[in-house]
Structure formats: structure tokens, C-alpha cells
Structure 1
Amino acid sequence: MKLPKRKHADRGYLSHAQVAALAGAVDRHPEVVRFLSYTGLRWGEMAALRVQDFDMLRRRVNVSRSVTESGGLVWSTPKTWERRSVPFPASLADELAALMAGNARDALVFTDMRGGVLRNSNYRARVFGPAVKVCQKADDTFPSITPHDLRHTAASLAVSAGANVKAVQRMLGHAKASMTLDVYADFFDDDLDIVADNLDAAIKSAADQLRTGSKR
């Protein structure tokens, strides 16, 4: 029996300007918005990060564990392909370093006001959601998003910066590149135009060489 094609729900993707606007609108932890938007980590992966997981010289963060809310807090180890080293932009380095300053290697980097695990449920309801509404009032193109949608934003911005499907796969911790293409195929449509343009340039170059050669 032939199964119908899987359909994905509409997702909200932020532009660089909208990421900056959202980070400016939240009243706590703007670094969370920027970090998730430019690394693509899941919330639980971000919330579990310790000082020792950051390599500030290489601008890499090592994802090796996760924490989720299920009644209480459940700590786990990601699947093999989800363990990864993810780069972060140099523009985030100073604020990340400030979060870690003076802390022990095993201390959490992103915490709530009491120094505990930063919970998605609290942050989304009290901080993130209200900030999204503020942004939507100022920008009628601003989408309705959740913190998890910042993962999709990261994929979109990475592709727009020239990342290929394998790079996005590694960044997001997908098991296979086919999974990345299945979820984000629309991001790579512009690549087809680039391929066509490059082929056209090659054809014209070859034709020019032939004309030049024939004149000799």
C-alpha cells in the first residue's frame, strides 16, 4: 500500500533582524534567543550545557547530554548521531564567556534566576511568549513561534549563509542527510538556481575557449 507523503506543519523562521528584535524584547536571558537561533540546539541540549562543554578558542560547543521536563527533570545522553560539536558565531563569544566567568567546570551555563535548570515551560510562558507578541505588534510579518522554532531558524540562517545539507545535518544532529532534506527541503530550492547559473557560466566559458581556439 502506498502511503501518503508526510506533511510538515507550517514553521516560523526568523531573519537576522527578527532574531535581534526578539532578543531585545525578552526581559530575561536574551542570550538564549541568540544562542538557539545560531546553533540549532534543542532546548534540553542547551539547558544541560556545562562550562566544560565550551571550547571558546575554537568557538565550539560539545553536545553530550540533555535534560527534559517530565514531571521532574530527566537527564539523558543523546543518541550517537546527536552527540556533536557545533560551532557558534564569534559575536556570541563575549556574552557566553560572561555567563561562565568564575564558575566551576561542571556548572550549568544557562540557568534560571536561582541558578537551577532553565525550564522551557517557564521561559516560554513568562518570557518568550510575551516577547513574541511585542515583536508582532511592531512587525506584522513576525511569525508566531515557540522556542523550538529557533532550531528551524538556525537551519534557515545556516543555509542562507552557504551551508550544505551535510553541514546542516551535523549541526542539528540528524541521523541522516535524508532526514535533513525531508524536513528542510524548501531551504535548498535556491541551490538549484545556483547550480543552473554555474552550469550556464561553465557553458559560456567553454564556448568562449572554443571560439578563441578556432581563431588561433
Structure 2
Amino acid sequence: MSTPKRNRRAGVEDLWRDLKKPRPLLDDDGTQLLNDDGTPQTTPKPKLYGKGKRWRARYVDDDSNERTQRFERKVDAQKWLDDIVASQVTGNYVDPVRGKITFASFYNEWSSRQVWVPGTVKAMNLATGSVTFSTVAMADLRPSHLETWVKAMQDKPLEPGTIKTRFNNVRSVLRAAKRDKVLGEDPSERITLPRRRRADAAMVIPTAQQVGALVVEADIEFDAFVGLCAFAGLRLGEAAALQVGDIDFMRREINVERQVQRSNGHAVEIRAPKYGSERTIPVPDGLLKLLALHIEHWRHESDEPTRWMFPGEGKHPMHQNSVGYRWRRIRKAIGADHLHLHHLRHFYASGLIAAGCDVVTVQRALGHSSATVTLNTYSHLWPDADDKTRKAADALFKSSTESTAYPLRTESTE
């Protein structure tokens, strides 16, 4: 049975009360009580009389614990108490004991309870380990601490995208602290971050000729891998974790159900795709033929549906290192050292958009967590209102001029 919570109460009391006019002590019938020497008995002095500060403010916190603070003046005690009560009402209350914990100590305590994959653990540790306020008490954190840290990252220098990622990871810690009543106001609000370059200026999209050359240059053990990234938009880890049974040749579909990750740079792990992006992707006939040839090449290994499409060492599939080695070799062979394997995913997305696919269709094909993520990444590839207006007007122009019996004048009548 749970312990009932104490009633919320608050007030200011005088610890030196009844000193100026001691009250007489009376018997039940109202008779004055006397001391042994015959002098009238009076109320005793408070135990705290003359000890410490006179006024004590007290209240009950969210965990039913009574908190107190003493002051020289009643007005100061009342103001402190009013601020506490207001913070409890607005949800900005900070536990005075818990608020003394440093940022680093709170993160260590909080992170130990989180259900994170190894990649998230690494990213969070990297971000929180880079802050310049790790020894500052949570209740003392100010926006200036965050601004100093952001400026230090910019001076290193770190890319704006890296700074934003680390900032958001640290912000998640601060928000957790606010929920736990360790932090009042979130100091990360309204912090200005370095501006990122426009997505269309930073994004690299391989040409169709480059993608074709990459597939041709790759050997029989890797050409299907390149095809999956370029013509199905799979991430590296998703393509590496593909099994024979994930390809449905009858329905012309691929089921993405897992990904390969390396923990601490060594151990190979198989787990759910990024952001829970399990999905089924329609596959073009050309890619299906490429995959069929690849399966035929490895048929001597096993015909089981759970066989890895791209076997690695031992029982494991290929992983980031083995894929990276093959990728660097073929891109060098075609003279495209600037291309990354992830750029093939941009190639796939741009092709879907150019073909007229809407944002939800592209989101589902790429396995993004939301349409917002897709738009933030690829919005510049969709035609804007001017492009649509121009195309519609062009269609009207052609239909009107082609149907008239009078051809357009091509030279002056003068």
C-alpha cells in the first residue's frame, strides 16, 4: 500500500514569538499557576530564541517532503515562499537538493536508465562529453553556458550540422532534468546555432552515367549491393543485412526488416532498421535480374531463405568496413572519389521526385520517420509553384496553338 501524500501547505512563522509579552499560564479553572517561589508562571521562551535567523518559511514539495529556509526579515521569507509556490503552480519548481547535482552527474544517472542502441550511446556520450559546463549545478545553468559551448564548437571548427546534432542531444538531457524537477527553465531555449548551408548546395547527387559505371565496375559479389542503394534507396546497414528470403520475386518487392551495425568498432550487431523504418519497397525489373544473378552466384553456399545476400566473415554479413573497402575501390576506378555510398540514396530519391512521386510515397520508400524529414532533406528537388504554373501554362499554350487553323506568325508583317 502506497504512503499517502502530505497535504500541500506553506507559510512563514516567527521562531522568536511571544517574547515581548509573555503570556501567563492558567489552570483549567482559569487560576494563575505559580512557580515554587510564588512568582507567576509564563509561557517559556521558544527553543530557537536568539539562535539563527528569526523567520522560517516552510512548504511541502512534490514528494511530500517538507522544505524550510530561514531569513532575517519576514518580507524576505514571504517573497522566497511566494516564488516557490508560483514555480509549483507553473511547473517550474526545482528540488533544492536535486538542483545541486552537476550536469555530468545528472547525465550519468539519467543515461543509465535509457533504452538506447549502441550508436545512440556513443552519440550521446560524445555530445555530453564536449560541453563546457559539466561541473555546473543544474539549478545554476544559464543560457550563457550553452552559448559559450556552442561558440567553442564553432571555433574548433565543427560543421554546423555536427553542432546542431550535439546541441539537440544535450537538449534532450536538459529536458529530462526539467521533467525530474532538477531544472526550472530550459536554458537551451532560443540559443542561436551556426547557419547551415542550403541543402541543394551541400547535397551530392550522382549522375545516371556515374551510377551505371559503378554497377559495371563492381564485381559479381558487390554489384547487387550498389544496385540496392541506387535503385531501392537502401542504407548501407539495410542492404548489408538483407537475406535471400527478404526478396519477393513474384510481387517484385523487397522487405527491409533489419540492419547491420558495428558496436564499438568491432562487434557486428543485427537489429531493427533506423527509426523503426521497416518497410516494403517496390523493385524495378532490372534490379530483380541483378539480384537473381547475385543469388545464383552464391547458390553453392546455401538455399535457405535466411542466408545473407552479402556474406562476410564467418556467420556474419558484410558490414561498414568490408563494404567501405569495396566502395572506395570502385569509385576510384571510375574517377569519382568524391562520391559516398549514401549519395546513391540521394540519386534514388531524386529519381522518384523527378518522376512525380508525392512526399508520402518518397518518405515510405526511403524509410523516413515522417514526411517532415523527407521535406527537410529533399524539398528543393520538388518543383515549386512557379514551375507548376509555367508547365500548366505551357500545356495550355500548346493545346491552343496546335488546335487552331492559323499557324503562329514567325516573322514580322511589316
Which bin holds the TM-score, normalised by the shorter protein? 0.7 to 0.9
Q: Does 1:124 align with 2:324?
A: yes
Length-normalised TM-score, structure 2: 0.44
Closer/same/farther in 2, CA of residues 199 and 116 from structure 1, 3 Å limit: same
- For 1:144 and 1:42, locate their aligned partners in 2 and report how far apart those are by CA, in whole Å: 18
| Alignment-derived partner of residue 11 in structure 1 | 203
| Alignment-derived partner of residue 342 in structure 2 | 148
- For 1:182 and 1:75, locate their aligned partners in 2 and report how far apart those are by CA, in whole Å: 29
Residue 305 of structure 2 is aligned with which of 105, 112, 121?
105
Residue 244 of structure 2 is aligned with which of 45, 51, 56?
51
Q: Does 1:187 align with 2:342?
A: no
Per mean C-alpha deviation after superposition, the further-off stretch among 35-44 and 143-152 is 143-152
Q: How does 1:1-216 map to 2 (within 5 A)?
A: 1=190, 3=192, 6-7=196-197, 8=199, 10-27=202-219, 28-70=221-263, 71-78=266-273, 82-101=277-296, 102=299, 103-112=303-312, 116-125=316-325, 127-136=326-335, 142=336, 144-188=338-382, 190-200=383-393
Asked whether the 8 Å contact 1:59–1:87 carries over to 2, the reply is yes
- For 2:269 and 2:315, locate their aligned partners in 1 and report how far apart those are by CA, in whole Å: 17
1:21 Cα deviation (Å)?
0.7
Q: What is the total number of aligned residue pairs between the two structures?
A: 200
1:20 Cα deviation (Å)?
0.7
1:121 Cα deviation (Å)?
1.5
Per mean C-alpha deviation after superposition, the further-off stretch among 113-122 and 71-80 is 113-122
Amino acid in structure 2 at the alignment position of 1:11: M
- For 1:113 and 1:17, locate their aligned partners in 2 and report how far apart those are by CA, in whole Å: 33
1:6 Cα deviation (Å)?
4.8
- For 2:373 and 2:275, locate their aligned partners in 1 and report how far apart those are by CA, in whole Å: 15
- For 1:173 and 1:109, locate their aligned partners in 2 and report how far apart those are by CA, in whole Å: 20
Length-normalised TM-score, structure 1: 0.79
1:143 Cα deviation (Å)?
6.7
SS at match of 2:334: helix
Where do 5+ consecutive residues of structure 2 fail to align?
Answer: 1-189, 402-414
SS at match of 1:163: coil
Asked whether the 8 Å contact 1:100–1:109 carries over to 2, the reply is yes
- For 2:320 and 2:373, locate their aligned partners in 1 and report how far apart those are by CA, in whole Å: 25
Asked whether the 8 Å contact 2:268–2:319 carries over to 1, the reply is no
1:119 Cα deviation (Å)?
1.9
Asked whether the 8 Å contact 1:15–1:157 carries over to 2, the reply is no
SS at match of 2:250: coil
Measured against aligned partners, the alpha-carbon deviations of 1:134-159 in whole angstroms (never above 9, x if no partner) come to 222xxxxx571222222122112222
1:202 Cα deviation (Å)?
8.0
Measured against aligned partners, the alpha-carbon deviations of 1:82-103 in whole angstroms (never above 9, x if no partner) come to 0110112101112212333452
Closer/same/farther in 2, CA of residues 64 and 193 from structure 1, 3 Å limit: same
- For 1:202 and 1:56, locate their aligned partners in 2 and report how far apart those are by CA, in whole Å: 39
